[in-house]
Structure 1
């Protein structure tokens, strides 16, 4: 019994340390950017030792990769929650998902991490892998569903997914710089309508 409690206690401490590191790093990366954030700053902000950082992450890049992955997962959750909000059909689910994406990307720190520093630090191939593993599949599956239901033209789904993903990213960057989100939603809605 005591061994089981100690194991749970150790796991709880380990989880708490990892969580503190991720929270501190996310804040610093979103405020200062990857290049201007140092691991000693992360350790200090998290209130842990340097050894604790390197117990959980091999280096700053590994820590950043974990933050980027978490951000993509959060965006995917937001997209999914919007897309399930009583869509009238498959195309409406895609429109709702686009609203979820832009809502999730209202966080300027997220925009910096995912769309500015992410490609520069991790490279396009790794970001594409993270995107596929977390959120791009939602878009691809939504497009496939709309095509299979006969609600959208049959097009090469992978190419369409790539192009729409790029479109969403550019819209998020423009909105982050002050563009009207409603104008971008109007355009996205028109694009989905043109694909019907």
Structure 2
């Protein structure tokens, strides 16, 4: 078999896992995490409960996978921005806006994040979000550094930690807000101003 090609069994397993993630996302959004059973999720995905447990240890593991899928989607949007912006100013603001877009416009994603607060630990939620935040901020600073726009007295590692923490706080506020767009409008200029203050 050629390297990189999946077997039929591997393809079926991937399709089954994706069907469970889709079913879980829809059920958690419409019925709520606590009122959704594994049997309902499996039925919606048209698989057995055994198939569910083959892919996920429990319902919380599925919720984590659902949120991970959403993070991957956000990462693809950010990647598009990095591939299509020409100057660093529009790249920084565009990447930041892309990272925060889902929480503003996707009520299902916002609802899932709110439910995750009572199910996943703070560390698990941070780990998921940092899959998007850390690469985003690291790439922004790498670009600014390559263009000679980062001051000699600025530690890029320390700056990354601070900006990631600021993004985490912003995302948490937006998740809890009744008006996430207004919330982001308040935080956005402060985030951009801080990042710009690190550049010469």
**Which TM bucket (shorter chain)?**
0.7 to 0.9
Partner Cα distance (1:182, 1:71) in 2: 19
Note the residue ranges of structure 1 that are not aligned, 5 or more in a row: 2-6
Single out whichever of 33-42 and 59-68 deviates more from structure 2: 33-42
1:31 aligned partner: 30
- CA RMSD between the two structures: 3.0
Which of 164, 167, 170 is the aligned partner of 2:166? 164
TM-score between both structures, scaled by the size of structure 1: 0.78
Q: TM-score, normalised by structure 2?
A: 0.76
Contact 1:28 1:42 in 2 (8 A): yes
Higher RCO (Cα < 8 Å, 6 or more apart):
1
In the alignment, does 2:50 pair up with 1:51? yes
Equivalences, count: 189
Paired position in structure 2 for 1:109: 108
Q: Is residue 20–residue 41 contact of structure 2 (8 Å, CA) maintained in 1?
A: yes
- After superposition, give the CA deviation of every residue in 1:43-76 in whole Å (9 maximum; x if it has no partner): 1211111111111111112211211211111111
C-alpha separation in 1, matches of 2:191 and 2:82: 15
Tell me how far 1:8 sits from its aligned partner: 3.5
Relative distance call for 1:167 and 1:96 in structure 2 (3 A) is farther
CA drift at 1:23: 0.8
* Structure 2, gaps ≥5 residues long: none
Report the CA distance shift for 1:10/1:130 in structure 2 as closer, same or farther (over 3 A). same
